[in-house]
Amino acid sequence: MSRLYPLQGLPTAALGLLLLSAPVLASERLDHDTVKTLREQGSILPMERVMAAAVAAQPGELVEVELERDNGVYRYEIKILAADGRLHRLELDAATAEVVRRRDRSQRD
């Protein structure tokens, strides 16, 4: 006779939840307190400096700025509307303000 142990399937269930949540963990938006702490620690640059670097790389009007963590790397995602009406999406390293990716609406994501 075999006994059933209620916690026997726990490791399998935990692994399943971890695998299902991996896409969510890969890219996360950060709350205000976390951003403030990162700034105070010097882990990320001030948003003003990053926005200036973005506009220098792609002139236009800033329409959206988000700070995200992708696979442990902090990045600002910035959308800029150019004078010709094209929407450009730039990703800048939050620690260096270096443009690491750029796309516009004529390119596929």
Strand runs labelled E in 30-60: none
More confident residue, 7 or 105: 105
The CATH number of residue 88's host domain is 3.10.450.40
List, for residues 67-109, the tens digit of each pLDDT value: 999 888 999 999 999 999 999 999 999 999 999 999 987 544 4
Number of domains in the chain: 1
Q: For position 109, what pLDDT does the model report?
A: 45
In a domain, 7, yes or no: no
Cα separations (Å) of 101 from 13, 19, 74, 77, 78? Answer: 37, 27, 13, 9, 10
List, for residues 8-57, the tens digit of each pLDDT value: 544 444 444 444 444 444 456 778 888 899 999 999 999 899 999 999 99
In a domain, 32, yes or no: yes
Residue 59: pLDDT over 50 = yes
In a domain, 65, yes or no: yes
How far apart CA 70 and CA 6 sit, in angstroms, is 36
Residue 58 near residue 80 (C-beta atoms within 8 A): yes
The domain of 73 spans 28-104
Can you give the length of the chain in residues? 109
Residue 7: pLDDT over 50 = no
Residue 58 near residue 92 (C-beta atoms within 8 A): no
Six-digit token pair at 55? 């506009």
